[in-house]
Structure 1
Amino acid sequence: MKDRIRIMLGNQEIVKRYIGSRLVWSGGGEILLTIEPTGSSGFKATISFSLKNTVITPNNFDYKQIKSMQADDKPPLSLPEISYLYNEGKYFEIAFVGDDSIGEKIEKYTKKAKIIKFLR
């Protein structure tokens, strides 16, 4: 098991670090996958992304390890369990278990995002 890197101030964890107004460190989880979307569509428990570039998933990639996502420099968004992930060239779709409103919620969260990271 990998140790989680933490910066502490007293008993408070520092989750972001800035130099001026620029975010230089975020204490989010390990990045499993990054996409550059050109658009998205959310419906019920599914979110679909159109992509600028083809996503190449690592051989050892397990989509069930994804626990949250981060759009640009927004705070990470926790995700429910994923039932499947579909990736074909410039189209990327994720379906979630049990939450019929998560697709629309993610669509709003990722609107106009340039980079989306999926975190452990």
Structure 2
Amino acid sequence: AVLAREAPGIAVLAEEGGGARADLMWAVDPLDGTTNFLHGFPQYSVSIALLHKGQLSQAVIYDPTRNDLYTASRGAGAFLNDRRLRVSKRLKLSEALIGTGFPYRDFTHLDAYMAMFRDMIQKT
């Protein structure tokens, strides 16, 4: 409702509700991490992005458990609250932290996901 009021005429694509395709559209996930939320695991957010002709233009992610706001604009960088985010300089996987989001209900592509994960680990 807020997006429709503040930015009328921009289509909305919602994860749960679908939506028509347009040159300019919002992609909205009002509860990104539903499973985590339902299990009381504090890793969920509100995610909103603006796409122009299918290309990400602006993005906002709000983490209510930490009161953190992530923002990004094409060509202008990404921020956590008011702090500029930078890509890590780590080159070795052994020095990195990896988070995954493998499917938990639909295992149709599980073998492919596991193969990609295995390849990534072996190549780093």
Report the TM-score when normalising by structure 2.
0.22
More helix by share: 2
More strand by share: 1
Answer with 1 or 2: which has the greater Rg. 2
Report the TM-score when normalising by structure 1.
0.22
By relative contact order (CA 8 Å, sep 6+), the higher-ranking structure is: 1
